[in-house]
Chain A
Amino acid sequence: MDASASALSVRDVTKTFHTPEGGLVHALDSVSLDIAEGSFMVLLGPSGCGKTTLLRCIAGLESPDSGQIALRGQRIDDMPVWRRRVNTVFQSYALFPHMTVAQNIAFGLQMDKVPGDIIKVKVEESLDMVHLSGLGSRKPSQLSGGQQQRVALARALAKEPEVLLLDEPLSALDLKLRRGMQSELKRLQRETSITFVLVTHDQDEAMAMGDQVAVFNAGRIVQVGEPREVYLRPRSRFVADFIGEANVLTGVLDTFGLVVESLGLVPRDRLIADTDAASGRVHVAVRPENVSLQIDPVGTAKVTDVSYVGGDMRVEALASAVSIVSRVPSQGVQPPRIGDRVSISFAEGSLTVVAD
Chain B
Amino acid sequence: MTNHSTKTTGSKKTTGSKPAARRQRRSRRGVGLGLRDFPTFKAVSYLVFAFLYLPLVFVVAYSFNSNRVVSVWRGFTFSWYSEVLGNDDIQRALFNSLRIGVVATVVSVVLATGLAIGLLTMARAGRTFAWTLIGAPLIIPEIVFAIGTLALFVQSRIPLGVNAITLAHIAFCVPFALLPIRARLRGVDPAVYEAAADLGAGEFTIFRRMTLPLLAPGIVAGALLAFIISLDDFIVSYFLAGPGGTTLPVYIFGMIRNAVTPGVNALSTLMLVASILIVSLSYLLARKRR
Q: Is B274 an interface residue (CB 8 A)?
A: no
- Closest chain-A Cβ to B118's Cβ sits at a distance in Å of 21
Are A94 and B200 also in contact (CB < 8 A) when A61-B194, A88-B195 are?
A: no
**Complex contact B198–A96 (CB within 8 A):** no
Question: Which residues of B have CB within 8 Å of A96?
Answer: 192, 195-196, 210
Q: Is B1 an interface residue (CB 8 A)?
A: no
Q: Is A159 an interface residue (CB 8 A)?
A: yes
Question: Which residues of A have CB within 8 Å of B124?
Answer: 20
**Choice from B195, B205, B209, B213 contacting A94 with Cβ under 8 Å:** B195
**Complex contact A108–B199 (CB within 8 A):** yes
**Complex contact B210–A82 (CB within 8 A):** no
**Complex contact A88–B210 (CB within 8 A):** no
Question: Which residues of A have CB within 8 Å of B191?
Answer: 90-92, 94
Q: Is A238 an interface residue (CB 8 A)?
A: no
Taken together as a complex, chains A and B put the C-alpha atoms of A92 and B200 apart, in Å, by 19
Chain B, interface SS category: helix
Q: Is B88 an interface residue (CB 8 A)?
A: no
Q: Which of A83, A90, A96, A112 has the most CB of B within 10 A?
A: A96
> Which residue of chain A lies nearest to B191 when distances are taken between CB atoms in the complex?
A94
**Complex contact B199–A159 (CB within 8 A):** yes
Write the B189-228 contact mask toward A (1 if CB under 8 angstroms, else 0).
Answer: 1011011111111100100011001100000000000000
> Which residue of chain B lies nearest to A159 when distances are taken between CB atoms in the complex?
B199
**Choice from A61, A82, A83, A94 contacting B189 with Cβ under 8 Å:** A94
> 8 Å CB contacts to B: which residues of A139-190?
155-156, 159
Write the B216-254 contact mask toward A (1 if CB under 8 angstroms, else 0).
Answer: 000000000000000000000000000000000000000
Write the A67-98 contact mask toward B (1 if CB under 8 angstroms, else 0).
Answer: 00000000000001111001110111011111
**Complex contact B198–A59 (CB within 8 A):** yes
- Closest chain-B Cβ to A267's Cβ sits at a distance in Å of 55
**Complex contact A90–B194 (CB within 8 A):** yes
- Closest chain-A Cβ to B122's Cβ sits at a distance in Å of 14
**Choice from B192, B200, B214 contacting A108 with Cβ under 8 Å:** B200
Q: What 14 additional pairs, Cβ within 8 angstroms, besides A94-B189, A96-B210, A156-B198?
A: A61-B194, A82-B202, A83-B200, A90-B191, A94-B191, A94-B192, A95-B192, A96-B196, A97-B188, A97-B214, A98-B213, A107-B199, A108-B200, A111-B200
- Residue contacts A-B, CB under 8 angstroms, 22 given: A20-B124, A61-B194, A80-B202, A82-B197, A82-B199, A83-B200, A88-B198, A91-B191, A92-B189, A96-B192, A96-B195, A96-B210, A98-B214, A107-B196, A107-B209, A108-B199, A111-B199, A111-B200, A111-B205, A112-B200, A155-B195, A156-B199
